[in-house]
Amino acid sequence: MDSVRFFTPDEARATLPHLKPLLAELREAFHAYRFARAQVDELLAMFGEDPSLAPGHPQETEARRWKEEAQRGDGRVREAIAKITALGADVKDPIVGLVDFYAKRPTTGETVLLCYRDDEVALDYWHPLTTGFAGRRPLTEF
């Protein structure tokens, strides 16, 4: 854990103005990727082959377009995650904008996660490494 950045609650909160637009970007990119990927999968299921690899296939152009869209979406997702990670946050769910920040409990020195979901007003929760989102506790118990 030497390369992991540890945050205080105030330090993690200070990233939120930078983090929120990146979470919105990630969510949009993830939805676009999933939609394009679903189109590719549907074409594969319909025809039993990849139309983009079958010259002259009636769906060749459409299949290529959706594959390119999926590739672009994947790149956008990876780029957004890289930017979020550079801020020190760990993406847990790209759809709801759930991220964690590593922290040390001041009372015990235990490594825990400060937990933030994009629809929350502020960063107000933490949880042990072993419990995940379901084990969130208010920062008043930090």
Write out the chain's pLDDT in tens, 142 residues: 558 899 999 999 999 999 999 999 999 999 999 999 999 999 989 888 888 888 888 889 999 999 999 999 999 999 999 999 999 999 999 999 999 999 999 989 999 999 999 999 999 999 999 998 899 999 999 9
Domain map (residue ranges) of the chain: 9-141
Is the CA virtual torsion 54, 60, 66, 71 positive or negative?
positive
Bridge partners (DSSP) of residue 117 are 98
CB-based contacts of 105, cutoff 8 Å, min separation 6: 112, 126, 142
Give the Cα separation of 95 and 85 in Å (integer). 16
Chain-centre distance for alpha carbon 70 = 16
Chain-centre distance for alpha carbon 75 = 13
* pTM of the predicted protein model: 0.86
Eight-state DSSP code of residue 8: -
